[in-house]
Amino acid sequence: MFRLLSKESNIFSIPVYIGFLLFGVIIFNILNFNTYEAIIAVITFLGISLGYFCFNAIALNYQTHLPLFLYTFFIFGLYPGKIDMGIAVALLTNSFILLLLTSTDEDLRKKSYVLVGSILALNFIFLPTTWPMIFFVLIHLIVTSERIGLNIFRFILGMSLIALSYFSVTFFLHFNDWNTDYLPFGKVKFVKNYTELFPLVPIFLMLIYAIYDHFRHYNKKSPVSRYKYTFLLVFSFAQIVSIVMYMNVNYEYLLLLAFPITIIISRMLKFIPKYWMQELCLWIIITSLIAYKAGTHFDLF
């Protein structure tokens, strides 16, 4: 299977994977299609679908089917059937931010900081626990920008426009009470029970090895590959902060890591020297995700 997935993919492969994912989620999760759940499902799959296009934008997948296949399995395995509106919006906004910040058009990236700030402010309104993404973008902006002060101003301007609009609407509707959920450290809920996550341990170990292997061969990587991989690691760290501090038993937070983990592990599989090791690791990943899906779906743990 690994050799089959290593073949070159194209833009027409993406709708096929999206279709298989949508079919699998509908069959195995039995979505509740009332109006509210339907809206959340649409937002979720818009974000997931944009994630497929992010692979080409970040260009670390060597145009093979492997990342698309793994991303499909990660989403299928981690998708609980019903997720919070905030997570759905976060998946969508994360995909937009990745597409904007990884664009090869430098002029577009410079002019997108107002939009990125607006997107992050909107994301914070729906899910305050995603505040680490604001610092991720600020770090990216400071490291990559020539005119740091101007771009920070653009970024803050975008956030301010959404904040002003939000407070204006709430004031007009007479919603004058402050919700303490918007305080970043107001309701920290560290993960206390790891039992349901045990099937994902092999994937966690592979992830650690993949990062170790990258830095072991760091000097052999091209400057572009180093930059993009570092970008991906910082993005992943922002998601991990939210997961560690706020996930508790809301395991749908793990969906926020599906995209970066897919790229990191698919690169590891590609550079493993032995074919049988590549095939074995691929089947271990599939088995782990199916076991986790079965455990959460049938409440086995």
pLDDT above 90 (res 35): no
Supply the pLDDT for residue 258.
92
Condensed to tens digits (0 to 9), the pLDDT of residues 249-297 reads 788 899 999 999 999 998 888 888 888 888 899 999 999 999 998 877 6
Cα–Cα distance measured from residue 138 to residue 154, given in angstroms and rounded to the nearest whole number: 11
Strand ranges in the chain using DSSP code E only, listed in sequence order: none
Residue 8: what are its φ and ψ, rounded to 5°?
A: -65, 135
Is 155 in contact with 138 (CB distance < 8 Å)? yes
Residue 30: what are its φ and ψ, rounded to 5°?
A: 50, 70
pTM value?
0.86
Residue 2: what are its φ and ψ, rounded to 5°?
A: -60, -40
Condensed to tens digits (0 to 9), the pLDDT of residues 107-160 reads 777 778 889 999 999 998 888 888 899 999 998 888 887 788 888 998 999 999
| Residue spans per domain, the chain | 2-297
3-state SS class at 58: helix
Tokens of 158: 């975008």
Mean pLDDT of 89-101: 89
Cα–Cα distance measured from residue 60 to residue 58, given in angstroms and rounded to the nearest whole number: 6
Q: Choose among 100, 122, 70: nearest CA to 257.
A: 70
Higher-pLDDT residue of 10 and 151 is 151
pLDDT above 60 (res 33): no
Supply the pLDDT for residue 21.
76
Cα–Cα distance measured from residue 200 to residue 60, given in angstroms and rounded to the nearest whole number: 24
Q: Which residues pair with 8 in a beta bridge?
A: 64
3-state SS class at 30: coil
Is the Cα dihedral 236, 252, 120, 50 positive or negative? positive
Condensed to tens digits (0 to 9), the pLDDT of residues 190-218 reads 666 677 888 999 999 999 999 998 888 88
